[in-house]
A and B are shown apart, each in its own frame.
Chain A
């Protein structure tokens, strides 16, 4: 999946904590998209910090977040690292400095059990790229509503009830449909 130069992602860290991050540097990155985010009402933000990297490759940081084992992955997300720079051992190899803004979230609990079990086999969950503006989930819900109620009233007020109003005012939200 291609993401835009400034994008957001989300993943679970090794402790089962939910992490959202904003990529601040400009680069096109290829990301897998198998991770299913938990419902919004089940997550609460713990803190926010910025992680820095000196990687030469725009994909190196993502690779560490997606391909490494659980116990060594997502080391950025620990609260003891909040405020520190260059926490990745491999991050010192590069020359250019890049930063990632991370929001550490906690999934409200009992209903989900161990979050890692939801993504299978104890492997590192894959981050997914959120669309800029409305989330893909909201837009999909709106499009399903449109398809199901084509003959009915589909005013913006009704559609905005299903997604954020600002999302529906963006022309980029709805891609032209083929034939």
Chain B
């Protein structure tokens, strides 16, 4: 695992934790997790877990 992939994984996991808070928008979560844009978060999250952050939040 490279340093970049480690950072990306930690950011995705941070975003997943924040998704449990319903009052936070995806834009806020992306910013709080270190992603430049919401689409970047969605892309990375779907690549990691196979579902989008919105779908993940609906399943909570």
Partner of B1, one of A149, A151, A159, A174: A174
Interface residues of chain A: helix, strand, loop or mixed (majority): loop
Closest A residue, CB atoms, query B2: A171
Whether B3 is near chain A, meaning CB under 8 Å from some CB there, is yes
Structural contact, A177 and B9, CB atoms closer than 8 A = yes
Whether B47 is near chain A, meaning CB under 8 Å from some CB there, is no
Interface residues of chain B: helix, strand, loop or mixed (majority): helix
Please name 14 further chain A to chain B contacts, defined as beta carbons within 8 Å, in addition to the given A146-B6, A150-B33, A152-B34, sorted by A numbering.
Answer: A146-B7, A150-B7, A150-B10, A150-B14, A151-B32, A151-B33, A154-B34, A168-B3, A169-B2, A171-B1, A175-B1, A176-B9, A177-B9, A177-B10
Interface residues of B, Cβ cutoff 8 Å to A: 1-7, 9-11, 13-14, 31-34
Closest A residue, CB atoms, query B7: A154
Which residues in B have their C-beta under 8 angstroms from that of A119?
A: none
Which residues from 134 to 179 on chain A have a C-beta closer than 8 Å to any C-beta of chain B?
A: 142-143, 146-147, 149-152, 154, 156, 159, 168-169, 171, 173-177, 179
Closest B residue, CB atoms, query A163: B3
Structural contact, A159 and B3, CB atoms closer than 8 A = yes
Closest A residue, CB atoms, query B11: A150
Which residues in A have their C-beta under 8 angstroms from that of B4?
A: 156
Q: Give bound CA distance, A149 to B14, whole Å.
A: 11
Q: Give bound CA distance, A173 to B6, whole Å.
A: 10
Query: Can you identify 7 A-B contacts, CB atoms within 8 angstroms?
Result: A150-B7, A154-B34, A159-B3, A169-B2, A173-B3, A174-B2, A174-B3
Structural contact, B10 and A147, CB atoms closer than 8 A = yes
Closest B residue, CB atoms, query A168: B3
A163 to B: closest C-beta gap in Å? 9
B21 to A: closest C-beta gap in Å? 15
